[in-house]
Amino acid sequence: MGKLLAVIRREYIERVRNKWFIVVTVLGPLFFAVVMVLPAFLSIRGIKNAKVSDIRIVDATGVGLGARVDERLKRPPRDGRPAAKLPIVTIDTVAGADLAHAESLLVADVVAKRLTGFLVLDTLTVQSGKAHYAGRNASNVGENERLESAMRGAILGYRLEHAGLGASVADTITALRTDLATERISDTGKSGSAVAGMIFGLVIAMFLYISIILYGQAILRGVLEEKTTRVAEVIVASVKPDILLAGKVIGVGAVGLTQFGIWILSGAFFWGQRMRLMGAMANGALPAEATANMNFVLPTISPFTIVALLIFFVLGYTFYASLFAAVGAMVGSQEEANQAVQPVMMMLIFSVIFVQPVMMNPTGMLAIVLSRLPFSAPIIMPLRMTATQVSALEVIAVLAGLLLACFGSIWLSARIYRVGLLMYGKRPSLRELARWIRQS
């Protein structure tokens, strides 16, 4: 026990005293915000601020639908923001027989960069809402949504007027927009905004994923460095390889928990002081819009969920860290390690690939199955727990299965680590690894 504590203390102190630990601890939250929050914010902002410009509407409907679409494209935003520069839209009214020729000319204009794109409206647009857009910005989601919204309103307005409603009444109906606010209800009652819970779950899942990779790679590099510099030979002379492996995993894990504790406490402090800090930066005068945005309601997280999230991180880290340590022990260079670690990385990447589908439907069969598999549970189950209500019995059962998987991973890695730490030369084959496991 004394030797295990000595190894844990060495791994912990060595990393905490490192200047990079301080840098990562201070800048870590900023890095996570840039990686996870900033792309989503920019995407949403890009969609909201999208404006269609320098396009041509080819109207072959015969009912003036192109002018209606143009009028709706030039309307100011509904959220009260000042209207952006009006889009440059030209309307060409053509007969149905001349539509193919007109399209060929417009394609040439787009190729020559005299035009951004063109929207084709024909009789099918009036009947079934089908239209065609071609241009250099055809993959822009925000601009496509604006075009579809303008078309939808124009077609609906035309149909209402054709049915006998006045133009003003039809315009009032088509301008109606709904805003649905969602709120979760758990066993204890209302649990805050569903959108906030979904965002919080996504942040937790990505946070766990990045943390497992960072600290798992730290163990791999540490084992590989000790092996290549022959330090392991000296250490193994006084400490059993199993104790050395356990000390590394626990020591590096303690470093991670230390960083998480600092981040959580500092985040809670700054969140509680957000109004005072923003007021100081704004010289005491906060706009009403900024005040409303800072009154964002955090989702309600029960103490059981907080404890379960912590246990999921510890077990998930233990499961993958032992595998990373085994990879570091069985290779002899960083190049070999990059290849040998791919199966372990694929399990993590496989889990992250399904984060978005699970987030969109946390009660579906895919989410349930992935949250129960040991290699994906550390990431998917925390996402489900924060996005929807999951029974305590299911959470405990998944934790029990993950704990058994950790024992299996540690047992397997310890046998590879015991032999591979003192083996040099060519990387072992699968048959040799099997022999190490049997004989160690």
238 and 360 belong to one structural domain: yes
146 and 245 belong to one structural domain: no
128 and 222 belong to one structural domain: no
328 and 386 belong to one structural domain: yes
Give pLDDT tens digits along the chain (440 positions). 677 888 788 888 887 887 777 777 777 667 666 665 566 556 555 555 555 667 888 888 888 888 888 888 777 655 545 444 555 667 778 887 788 888 888 888 888 888 888 888 888 888 888 888 888 777 677 777 878 888 888 888 888 887 777 767 767 766 666 555 555 555 555 555 556 666 777 777 887 888 888 888 888 888 888 777 777 667 766 777 778 888 888 888 888 888 878 877 776 776 666 566 555 544 554 444 444 444 555 566 778 888 888 888 889 888 998 899 888 888 878 788 888 888 889 998 888 888 888 888 888 899 899 999 999 999 999 888 877 778 889 999 999 999 999 988 888 888 888 787 777 767 777 787 778 777 76
72 and 217 belong to one structural domain: no
Look at residue 181 and tell me if it is in a domain: no
Q: How far apart are CA 401 and CA 396, in angstroms?
A: 9
Among 143, 174, 205, residue at a domain's last position = 174
Look at residue 185 and tell me if it is in a domain: no
Q: How far apart are CA 392 and CA 322, in angstroms?
A: 28
253 and 399 belong to one structural domain: yes
Q: How far apart are CA 423 and CA 346, in angstroms?
A: 26
Q: What are the residues whose beta carbons fall under 8 Å from the beta carbon of 368, sequence distance 6 or more?
A: none
Look at residue 83 and tell me if it is in a domain: yes
The whole domain housing 335 covers: 2-43+190-439
Look at residue 390 and tell me if it is in a domain: yes
358 and 411 belong to one structural domain: yes
Query: How many domains does the structure of the chain reveal?
Result: 2
212 and 327 belong to one structural domain: yes
Look at residue 116 and tell me if it is in a domain: yes
Q: Cα separations (Å) of 128 from 121, 159, 174, 402?
A: 11, 11, 17, 52
39 and 60 belong to one structural domain: no
Inter-residue contact 102 to 132 (CB < 8 Å)? no
237 and 212 belong to one structural domain: yes
203 and 55 belong to one structural domain: no
Look at residue 114 and tell me if it is in a domain: yes
Task: Work out whether the CA dihedral 303, 305, 307, 309 comes out positive or negative.
Answer: negative
First to last CA, the chain: 22
Helices (H), 341-391: 342-353, 355-360, 365-372, 377-387
329 and 380 belong to one structural domain: yes
> Where residue 169 sits, what CATH number does that domain have?
3.40.190
Residue type, 183: E
Look at residue 412 and tell me if it is in a domain: yes
Look at residue 349 and tell me if it is in a domain: yes
